[in-house]
A and B are shown apart, each in its own frame.
Chain A
Amino acid sequence: MSVDAAVETKTVFGSEVPQPPQHGAAGGVMRRLNFGTGLVGGIGLATIAGWITAIITPSSASSDTFAPMEPTYVYLAVLLGWFIGFMLGMGAFVGPLRWVVGRDITHSDAEYMAGKDLGRKRYWKYTTDHKVVGIQYLIVAMLVLGFAGLLAMLIRTELGMTWTSLFTPSFYNSMIGTHGIAMIIGMIVIISGPLGNFIVPMMIGARDMAFPRLNALSLWLFVSAVPMLVSSMFMGGIQDGWSVYYPLAAQAPPGMLGYQLTIIVFAVSTAVASVNLMTTILTMRAKGMTWSRTPIFVYGIFAASVMGLYAFPFFQYAQILGLSDRVFNTSFFDPLNGGSVWLYENLFWLLGHPEVYVILIPSMAVALELMPVFLRKPLFSFNFAVAGIVGVVALSGLVWAHHMYMTGWAPAANYPFMLSTELISIPVGFLVLVAIGTFWRGTAWTRLPLMAVYAVVFNKMIGGVTGVYLSDVPADQYFHGSMFVVAHFHYMLMGAGLFGAMAGIAFFFPKMTGRFLDERIGSIGLWTAFIGFQITFMSMFVAGLQGQPRRVLNFDDQFNLSNWISTIGAYVIGIGMLIFLSAIITSWRSGVLASSNPWGSKSLEWQTATPVPLENFPVLPVVTERPYDYGVPDPYEAELDSTDQDLMEKAGTK
């Protein structure tokens, strides 16, 4: 085929490839923007916006509900100023603005944005390469989890020091609320963000995500939301738990604005990321990668994206309406003026429960993904695993009101919701059974990732069994609002979710960094955290069964023992997590170098070089078999062998 001389071409793997027409010159201000300019823009615009708002708002301004409005307006202006300034400074609006003025991004600009030849600088920029975004997600998610973990340690310290009170009730409440929402956000991101971005495109044989610029946008929206959340602690905090029910939220100090804007921005980030992942998985799978040849981890990420996409908008609407109540004196959630607190509760839990599966399903999927590799046998009933994931997605939106049995919202609806909640334990059970079935008669190559899977399966079973009690209306009347509930959801979200993330990070670490995660230090950290986890939350189950209410700073002496033990366990978890963190840091810097496929895995991401080249594969792969056929004879290979032998016999060469 001849190439028109007027069309610019580029040599790609020895072939002249026509390039799309360029509009305008490459380069410009976008090449000077980075995280530093983002910080300057964000802090600068926040300062200016806050200063102007403080000047134009009369200090005597108050709302219909007597709240002094100056701090609220100034804080809102600061948050909005930060968000716009940071995104401007990062260069998030460069692409759309250049498109509007007819100077779209050139091919050279696109390569620059992908981080080509930028070295480590690319991690500090609005980079579109999915691998860079994956690493960025990993760092930010670890920072968020570290911050939430710090609050967890302080909470447990307060509860463990039963002879004295360290913090004021307001600050304690603020720590509880901020810890809750920060952990939820961090846990949602810790697998889908780093591994969904870094691994999934390679796993399906694609060169990048479907929308690379949206990929960068989702990451930096997430980053911009983090300071908003942290800042709320300096404005009176989130004192009403992570659910911030009304009217408590309406009585809360201005820190509530930080929560509301964090959720609004994070929901946009999640929607953008979900659409991107779903489109990538649906349209960019390698030739031959049928659904039965698609790895289970890809199903897990796809399922989490679907649930995040439909569930987060409910939460986002709730926060938009709540912000409107606070700032504009509307009354969506004010019962005295025609609003409904139940409206809020429903909107909240329409995200609140699917969110559990947004965390859990990727965690289980990463466990199922790596088990065949280390057990050297096929996944036990791939179809059941897929059915489990599909079943969870289908039922995830029908269980939210089991969190509202005791609110009096709709007593007649309790039993249908009890039924749907107990039903969802069946597909979740499928996943556990597939894991156990895969263990059965497997030859375990017990490396660090598989150790983490043992922890996931154990914790998942404890969390699942205790969840069945809470789904039961009569039992929930007793357990509701107690530490039993806290222990249960920590088993699900942390026990299964975070240990799953540890498994995933340990497994994919060689591909992401080119080095092994230190097995000895990593496993010491893992098992220390696991033991601490059991101590902490088993004793919390006991406190809950004794009747200790959750979210209460001062409790009766009868709960002292279980709280002391729980606090000791929490310190052990903290030490374990820090040891695991040090394994990540030291291994990343100077760990043992890994080959491109150190685990001998059959899936595509391990078939390309390490470090992974910019567009992943020199030639896009073609998939000819299922990803977990370890130890299964290849029928085509056997056929070829026999034919070869026949030919050789006929030719007399045998």
Chain B
Amino acid sequence: MKKFLVTFLTVLLGGAIVAGVGVFNAVQGEAPPVLVANVVGTKTAPSGEEMPHAELYLDVYPNSSSQVPQPETKSPINNVLLAGQPFYHPSTSLQVPSNSLVTIHFRQYDSGGTIYNPYFAKVHGTVDGKMKWNGKEVSEIKPDEVGHTFTVHQYPESTQPYFFMSIPLPMNPANAKTDKMGYPVDPQIISVTFMTGEAGSYVWNCEFPCGDLYQEFGGPMQTRGWMAGTFDVVDV
């Protein structure tokens, strides 16, 4: 009887350790708070159909400051390793309505350079294949003037509704006038409108290497909260 009690306690203790470590790490690794695109009215799709219209506002900063805090994280090591690295603000966990037209407004405060793959200097997946950049409509930018990209794609082997979108965010020139925090006074303003289909879960990331280590593909490039995140299309 005593042996079976010890056995039971061993299993219980083992389960408690697994659960404890799991819960601790799950809390540590909480995703950034979800940024929801609110429906603001309706808009006419290229097909002439009236669709719900939602909007999202995202900024891209080259680093944190007293004005713009670092992405929320409960992992102390990320605060050390990713300090001074660029990030999307206010969140990288995005949620948009299904079967809608969604407009995302970007303010891009970071510098940039030449992107390895010029495919990502072009606009993909918007309603008209274009984006509005500082008031002008363009379908691509010069590959050597890219600051970041906002690229949404599928999970591997996915059977959910196909969705792909990639927007190049132009860089700020090196001589741009900056405020006391070092951010350009006149950031690059970009807006894009795209159409969502049925509900699905996607991921997005920046395809311009802006992190650290090998070819600058390390650090923030791989970390949600910085240059990667989730993109959920939900029924509302």
**Interface, chain A (partner B; CB < 8 A):** 62-63, 65-68, 71, 150, 153-154, 157, 165-171, 234-236, 239, 246-247, 250-254, 334, 336, 518, 521, 547-549, 552, 554-559, 574-575, 578-579, 581-583, 585-586
Contact = CB atoms under 8 A, between A and B. Distances in A.
A78 B44 CA distance: 61
Residue among B6, B14, B158 with the highest chain A CB neighbour number at 10 A = B14
A68 B9 CA distance: 46
Contacts of A239: 222
A254 B81 contact: yes
Contacts of A579: 7, 10-11
Contacts of B25: 154, 166-167, 171
Nearest to B83: A68
Nearest to B13: A578
B135 interface: no
Nearest to B14: A578
Contacts of A168: 29, 31, 223-224
B156 A552 contact: yes
Nearest to B203: A554
Contact of B159 (A169, A336, A558): A558
Contacts of A586: 3, 6-7
B224 A574 contact: no
Interface of B: 3-4, 6-7, 9-11, 14-15, 17-18, 21-22, 25-26, 28-29, 31, 77, 80-81, 83-84, 155-160, 201, 203, 211-219, 221-224, 228
B11 A67 contact: no
B155 to A, nearest CB: 5
A166 B24 CA distance: 10
B214 A250 contact: yes
A246 to B, nearest CB: 8
* Residue among B28, B212, B228 having the largest count of chain A Cβ atoms under 10 Å: B212
A574 B203 CA distance: 32
A549 B157 contact: yes
Given A579-B11, A586-B6, A150 B217 contact: no
28 contacts: A63-B213, A65-B215, A71-B81, A153-B22, A154-B18, A167-B25, A167-B29, A168-B31, A168-B224, A170-B223, A234-B77, A235-B77, A250-B213, A251-B211, A251-B215, A252-B218, A253-B77, A521-B3, A521-B4, A556-B158, A557-B159, A558-B157, A558-B159, A578-B14, A579-B10, A582-B10, A582-B11, A583-B7
B216 A65 contact: yes
A583 B67 CA distance: 59
Contact of B201 (A63, A154, A253, A554): A554
B158 A251 contact: no
A253 B221 CA distance: 12
Nearest to A153: B18
A425 B16 CA distance: 42
B62 to A, nearest CB: 13
A518 B155 contact: no
A521 B7 contact: yes
Given A150-B17, A167-B25, A68 B84 contact: yes
Contacts of A251: 211, 213-215, 217-218, 221-222
Contact of B11 (A167, A254, A578): A578
Contacts of A157: 18, 22
B77 A556 contact: no
B75 to A, nearest CB: 8
Contacts of A557: 159-160
B81 A68 contact: yes
Contacts of B224: 168-170
Contacts of B157: 547-549, 555-556, 558-559
A246 B160 CA distance: 32
A150 B16 CA distance: 11
A167 B21 contact: no
Nearest to B10: A582
B130 to A, nearest CB: 30
A644 B77 CA distance: 82
Contacts of A585: 6, 10
A154 B3 contact: no
A197 B223 CA distance: 45
Given A171-B25, A247-B214, A236 B81 contact: yes
